[in-house]
Structure 1
Amino acid sequence: MAKTKKTKSAYADAWRRLKKNKVAMVSLVVIVLLIAMALFADLIVDYSAAITQSAADKLASPSAEHWFGCDGLGRDLFARIIHGSRISLLLGFGTTAITTVTAVALGTTAAYFGGKFDSLLMRAFDILISIPSVLLALAISAGFGTGIPQLVCAITIGQLASFTRVIRSAVLNLVDQEYIEAERALGLKNGRIIMTHIIPNAMGTILVQATMQVARNILMGALLSFLGLGAPIPTPEWGQIASDGISYLRYTGHIVIFPTIFITITALAINLFGDGLRDALDPRLKGKA
């Protein structure tokens, strides 16, 4: 009970310091608005406007009728970006959730038990890390084919090794602590020690790493979609929209500019919030709040 109260107090203290970080809080508001935009996309603009082609509106500039203009097939760019946010944010948050759960399971197990499993896992991840994540994701996407499930798999595998090593390093700093040794001596089961003491005490590192991972995964998803390995046509996705606009850059730039702005704002907001979260969860900053 005392442990639970102490943990709640630590998180309450972190939230108090996070609220004092104006940049982080503004970034959080932007993130919430982007998520709301994706969830209520159908209420903002009808999906049919994102896929309906109109020869008369081909490459139409931004106007009162088409706020962001139209693409090379006459599809409303505002509608495509609003509905494209669903795929982009799904790639960011969905792949991060899968990567986080997998990395925590592998990293915690490897650090806590050590031995051959730890050695074999780290050597396998050393090989993966030696391959640039973009190249690895491209190879996986090319091998599995195009589509959202394949894209999620490619991004997850491409980011898993580095994430797992971060979690493993955090857990290694905990497994030799005196209170962990005391609980082992008392005969507590390893599973209970991991779930009640190891993971909660590593949660700060996990949350910060996961937050940063969201931005990286959104950018990776946009890049792979830009290269034609993302959502199937005509499903809108920010990277794919920007890719479609490249062919028309000599005539107009709005097709590339608007999706790029949304990708940049999203990644920047998540990174800034991650920086604020890291500072709030850093025990060394408690005396400065």
Structure 2
Amino acid sequence: MPAANGRTLTIAVLGLGEAGGAIARDLAAAGAVVRGYDPVVPAPDGITGTGGEAEAADGAALVLSVNSAHDAAAALDAGAAGVGDGAVWADLNTGSPGLKQKLHAAARERGIRFADVAIMAPVPGRGLRTPMLACGEAADDVARLLNPLGASVEVLPGEPGAAAARKLLRSVFFKGLAAAVVEALEAAKAAGCEPWLRENIVAELTAAGEPTVDRLVSGTHRHAVRRADEMAAATDMLAELDVPPLIAAASRDLLRRLAASRNPAGSGTTDPSRVDH
């Protein structure tokens, strides 16, 4: 694909694992010149392999760091020397907003334009089409360069860290939900009623809608005292089944905190006869 200057767009991809490799292959298939580096994974067909981050970044209009949050700062340190004037460093790693802000500061010290990019869905099966959020001074450029190649980059206002925050907030919900389902089914298997609980979970998720969220939030606050006792009993049951009650115990503790905030002096209780689930 031609860049604004009429030359073929060159993109560097640092990290060629499951996510980075899929994105790199799709970029190459869309017509970009892709230069890749990974200390472990060899460059796939269609990707120009390089000997390091700086070599991969050399001549690239856009550098995509898709390694890991643990390696993000080291990748920027190693690759900065190869980033040319006007090029963009986009960090796609799943890191905290604080990490993204530190990366932005490190890039700014080196005169590199930076964007925080959050990958908002699993990459396998989607590749470059995986929805992404981008923020920071170079976010518009990330969208401008990637979207014509088939990407779906939505630009958010705000400093680096805003995109990461949205991804991780969603993770608290979705990964937490998944963990609760896994723990509940493990306990149900130990109790001999896994098929029944699985059907119950499917029915609840299938029937869920916008009112469900309001009901969950308001009910949790309103019935925190009784539900804390209920989850304490559930925690004990899982321990009796030899299933580590990690999610159950966390739910119990959250409910106890909410109950204490509603009744700091221990006065007043939730009506235990009120039915809810």
What TM-score does the superposition give when structure 2 sets the normalisation length?
A: 0.26
Question: Larger Rg: 1 or 2?
Answer: 2
TM-score in terms of structure 1 length: 0.25
Between Structure 1 and Structure 2, the one with more helix by share is 1
Higher relative contact order, chain-length normalized (CA < 8 Å, sep 6+): 1
The structure richer in strand per residue is 2
